[in-house]
A and B are shown apart, each in its own frame.
Chain A
Amino acid sequence: MNGMTVIVKTISSWVKVLIIVFGVYIVLFGHLTPGGGFAGGVILASSYVLLMLAFGRRFVEDNLPLSLASKLDCLGAFLFMIIALLGFAYGGAFFANFLYRHYLPGDRFALISAGTIPLSNMAIGLKVGASLFLVILTLSVFRPSSDEPGGRGV
């Protein structure tokens, strides 16, 4: 799978930037507009899927290897957990929105508002993007092995 023609490659490398910007926007403004970490994360993952279709799997794997994607996946989940635990430490309860209540109320309808909600959105966006990219890559990398007993071969 070497990818498609030059036209497709050129266009998709431009479109990729747009998709990533859109995904980041959806993640960052999730507390003000529709969207949020999940939708944004899926959009981020789909930009890589587009690259995979245009340039072939090899290219994407060189840029974002499986091991790194899996580490990002763990990191995103871990960050979300850290936010919850910080709520325990500083806000008095697991998942308390300590930033909004005590430290950084922010202005209404501004980007920096709502305390931990944008932070949670970012952690979830990272986690969802990495994990969906990972699963699509794993599914497309998978080739039936011919030497295992019971394997059918290609």
Chain B
Amino acid sequence: MIVPLPAFIAVPLTAAFVLPVFGRRGRSAATLLANIVTISLLFMAVSSLNQSRSYEVGRWPIPLGINLVLDGLSGLCLATIAIVACGAMLFSASYMERYTAKCKFYSLFMLMVAGMNGVVLSGDLFNLFVFLEIASIASYALVGFGTGPEELEASFKYMVLGSIGSLFVLFGVALIYGNTGSLNMAYVSRAINESSFTPAVGFALSLFIAGFGLKAALVPFHAWLPDAHPSAPAPISAMLSGVLIKALGVYALARIVFNVFGISVPVAWVLVALAVLSMVAGAFLAIGQWDLKRLMAYSSISQLGYCVLGIGLGGLIIASGGSGRQMTWASLAILGGLFHLANHAVYKSLLFLTSGSIEMATGTRQMSRMGALAERMPLTRAACSIGSASIAGIPPFSGFWSKLVLVIAAVGAGYYWVAAIIVFVSLCTLIMYLKVHRYVFLGEPAGGQEKLDRVVEPRGSMAVAVLMLACLCVLMGLLLLPAVRAVVLDPAAEVLTSGLDYSRRLTGL
């Protein structure tokens, strides 16, 4: 089935424009509509995997008009966004009963999804900025959705840093326009690589790295994430940690660095350094946390480092200009990074959703005030165990496979220290999730037995969402089977390894 590309943006946007009209009485209708939209987005995304085409909006040929580009990488990102959105939306159907203005919540959720889809599909730098802003502004509002003091503080911090990131990107776009006279990524790439690498282009590239690094919360720019992600309602935390930082950060960074500017050795080293810093610092900071969601937020920083590491390492090998054998390792590293990106989206959103169930049942996020929840919440415990096993890289769960691919690629290419860091951070991750299990599910009940008796397992749509993501976590390893890999992961890695072919394909030169 060929899905027209604007549908990925038009469907959630139309839903977002209609949803606020449903008042208090139309809540169940709004819930139904929102779920139908996310599920249909999932079908659309899955049917667009492994396709490659470009769509000219308004029938204007590029570079006059804006084009939407679907290739393996954007297909993978679209599918990931749709899976997590589907789970989070199912979860919020009953979780968000606690809050007022539910219809506006759905509307903001849809706007965020539309913004991310727009970023992933866009083939135009300024258009990418506009959709980046849609997704970011919706997420600022969603972080402050509860309007409590902490939520507002986190939301303000996030908004200030996010706005600076967006302005860096905008300034970079302005510089690029001033130098190349074009905004279309393919034409910009052609113009940059035909002329020599001027300082202005380098400055624009560093502005992009800083801007998208702020959105992706790589370590020197990570200050907002540990506040913002825990403060949001649980389904939104799942969306933010699961896909938002990846679509706005990692995807945009990879696309711009690889396909527009072309990878070079210094840039690849910058990416690897940022990634290693994020992995190590995120893991160390996470171990010390006692707030359940905060711990998970820090671990997101660390896990995001893996994705950037895979991509950066692949870029490093490509840019060093190795032989055919080295190129195999490069594409393997990139494949590992992208595979980890999809895996992390699934298990981190699963973990955040279970943390939402726990918070709803116990009324606290402090691990010291929980304990012995294993008997009362068996499903949540099972789901949390699966998620933790995946994130810590225990076979046969999904995280193991992507880390294994990364380690193999690093060793094969001769970067032994990278492999050592991957294994070490993986051990730290294991420790932090053992801590979660020890204090949340085992041990003594902190609030006394009678408080424990009032804890109930979530039912209905929340349980369905958690089950769905947990099953996916187990099954994600199947993506490495050659037949499946050729459809999902290989085309995505191919887009990045082929680099500047992107522009040649689109401009037809």
Contact = CB atoms under 8 A, between A and B. Distances in A.
Q: Do A and B interact directly, with beta carbons closer than 8 Å?
A: yes
B59 interface: yes
Q: Is the interface of B mostly helix, strand, loop or mixed?
A: helix
A94 B4 contact: yes
A87 B58 contact: yes
A114 B176 CA distance: 31
B13 A81 contact: yes
Contacts of A85: 10
Given A93-B57, A96-B58, A71 B14 contact: no
Contacts of A71: 21
A23 to B, nearest CB: 23
Given A71-B21, A74-B20, A94 B14 contact: no
B59 A93 contact: yes
Q: Which of A87, A88, A94, A97 has the most CB of B within 10 A?
A: A94
A71 B57 CA distance: 28
Interface string A65-100: 000001100100110010011011001111111000
A153 interface: no
A96 B17 contact: no
A149 B58 CA distance: 52
B81 to A, nearest CB: 20
A27 B14 CA distance: 24
Nearest to A94: B6
Interface string B10-31: 1001100110110000000000
B266 interface: no
Contact of B148 (A87, A95, A150): A150
B18 A74 contact: yes
B291 interface: no
A88 B6 CA distance: 9
Interface residues of B, number: 16
B18 A88 contact: no
A95 B60 CA distance: 10
B59 A92 contact: yes
Contacts of B6: 84, 88, 94
Contacts of B10: 81, 84-85, 94
Nearest to A71: B21
A88 B4 contact: yes
Interface string A111-153: 0000000000000000000000000000000000000001000
A94 B10 CA distance: 9
Nearest to A150: B149
Contacts of B501: none
Contacts of B58: 87, 93-97
Contact of A96 (B4, B59, B149): B59
A85 B21 CA distance: 20
B56 interface: yes
Contact of A78 (B18, B148, B149): B18
A93 to B, nearest CB: 4
B17 A91 contact: no
A78 B13 CA distance: 9
B57 A81 contact: no
Interface in B19-61: 20-21, 55-59
7 contacts: A74-B18, A74-B21, A78-B18, A94-B57, A94-B58, A95-B57, A95-B58
Given A70-B20, A78-B14, 10 more contacts: A81-B13, A84-B10, A87-B58, A92-B59, A93-B58, A93-B59, A94-B10, A95-B57, A96-B58, A97-B58
